[in-house]
Protein backbone atom coordinates (compact mmCIF):
# COMPACT_ATOMS: atom_id res chain seq x y z
CA UNK A 1 0.00 0.00 0.00
CA UNK A 2 1.30 3.43 -0.94
CA UNK A 3 1.83 5.93 1.89
CA UNK A 4 -0.66 8.77 2.28
CA UNK A 5 0.18 12.26 1.07
CA UNK A 6 0.63 13.35 4.70
CA UNK A 7 3.05 10.47 5.37
CA UNK A 8 5.06 11.39 2.25
CA UNK A 9 5.27 15.03 3.39
CA UNK A 10 6.37 13.84 6.82
CA UNK A 11 9.12 11.70 5.27
CA UNK A 12 10.20 14.57 3.00
CA UNK A 13 10.49 17.02 5.90
CA UNK A 14 12.61 14.60 7.94
CA UNK A 15 14.90 13.89 4.98
CA UNK A 16 15.34 17.62 4.30
CA UNK A 17 16.04 18.33 7.99
CA UNK A 18 18.86 15.80 7.72
CA UNK A 19 20.38 17.44 4.66
CA UNK A 20 18.91 15.07 2.10
CA UNK A 21 16.82 15.43 -1.05
CA UNK A 22 13.66 13.31 -0.83
CA UNK A 23 13.30 10.97 -3.82
CA UNK A 24 10.23 8.98 -2.89
CA UNK A 25 9.04 5.80 -1.25
CA UNK A 26 9.79 2.31 -2.50
CA UNK A 27 6.93 0.03 -1.60
CA UNK A 28 7.56 -2.96 0.57
CA UNK A 29 6.14 -6.44 0.09
CA UNK A 30 4.41 -8.00 3.09
CA UNK A 31 4.43 -11.44 1.41
CA UNK A 32 8.23 -11.30 1.25
CA UNK A 33 8.56 -9.54 4.62
CA UNK A 34 10.12 -6.48 2.95
CA UNK A 35 9.60 -3.09 4.56
CA UNK A 36 9.03 0.02 2.46
CA UNK A 37 12.07 2.26 2.02
CA UNK A 38 12.37 6.04 2.07
CA UNK A 39 14.72 7.07 -0.76
CA UNK A 40 16.91 10.16 -0.64
CA UNK A 41 20.08 11.73 -2.04
CA UNK A 42 22.69 14.10 -0.66
CA UNK A 43 21.18 17.58 -1.19
CA UNK A 44 24.67 19.12 -1.32
CA UNK A 45 25.35 17.39 -4.65
CA UNK A 46 23.72 18.05 -8.02
CA UNK A 47 20.73 15.72 -8.53
CA UNK A 48 22.47 13.83 -11.35
CA UNK A 49 25.73 13.36 -9.40
CA UNK A 50 24.41 11.63 -6.30
CA UNK A 51 23.65 8.05 -5.30
CA UNK A 52 20.34 7.26 -3.71
CA UNK A 53 20.26 6.01 -0.15
CA UNK A 54 17.39 4.40 1.73
CA UNK A 55 16.08 4.00 5.25
CA UNK A 56 13.11 2.09 6.62
CA UNK A 57 10.34 4.38 7.91
CA UNK A 58 10.95 3.15 11.47
CA UNK A 59 14.61 4.26 11.17
CA UNK A 60 13.92 7.61 9.49
CA UNK A 61 15.26 10.46 11.61
CA UNK A 62 17.17 13.59 10.62
CA UNK A 63 20.21 12.21 12.47
CA UNK A 64 20.07 8.91 10.56
CA UNK A 65 19.80 10.78 7.26
CA UNK A 66 22.84 12.89 8.21
CA UNK A 67 24.73 9.74 9.19
CA UNK A 68 23.86 7.97 5.93
CA UNK A 69 25.01 10.99 3.92
CA UNK A 70 28.25 11.24 5.91
CA UNK A 71 28.93 7.53 5.39
CA UNK A 72 28.30 7.83 1.64
CA UNK A 73 30.67 10.82 1.42
CA UNK A 74 33.37 8.85 3.25
CA UNK A 75 32.85 5.90 0.91
CA UNK A 76 33.25 8.14 -2.15
CA UNK A 77 36.26 9.88 -0.63
CA UNK A 78 37.99 6.56 0.08
CA UNK A 79 37.22 5.31 -3.43
CA UNK A 80 38.54 8.53 -5.00
CA UNK A 81 41.72 8.42 -2.92
CA UNK A 82 42.23 4.77 -3.84
CA UNK A 83 41.84 5.61 -7.53
CA UNK A 84 44.36 8.44 -7.26
CA UNK A 85 46.81 6.21 -5.43
CA UNK A 86 46.52 3.51 -8.10
CA UNK A 87 46.98 6.13 -10.84
CA UNK A 88 50.19 7.42 -9.26
CA UNK A 89 51.47 3.85 -8.78
CA UNK A 90 50.97 3.19 -12.50
CA UNK A 91 52.78 6.41 -13.41
CA UNK A 92 55.68 5.55 -11.10
CA UNK A 93 56.09 2.09 -12.60
pLDDT in tens, 77-91: 888 777 767 666 665
**Residue 41 is part of which domain span?**
5-92
Phi, psi of 82, deg, nearest 5: -65, -40
Model pLDDT for residues 59-73, shown as the tens digit of each residue:
999 999 999 999 999
Distance CA 51, CA 3 (A): 23
Region 43-60: mean pLDDT is 92
Q: Which residues contact 35 (CB under 8 A, 6 or more apart)?
A: 28, 56, 57, 58
> What integer best gives the mean pLDDT of the chain?
90
Average pLDDT over residues 16-21: 98
pLDDT at 90: 60
The percent of residues in the chain predicted with pLDDT above 70, rounded, is: 89
The residues, ordered by sequence, that sit 6+ positions from 36 with a Cβ below 8 Å of its Cβ are 3, 25, 26, 27, 28, 56, 57
DSSP per position, 61-82: -HHHHHHHHHHHHHHHHHHHHH
Give how many domains the chain has, as a whole number: 1
Amino acid sequence: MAPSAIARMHYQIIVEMGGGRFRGVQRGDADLNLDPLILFDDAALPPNKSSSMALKPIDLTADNVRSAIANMRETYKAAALGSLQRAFEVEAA
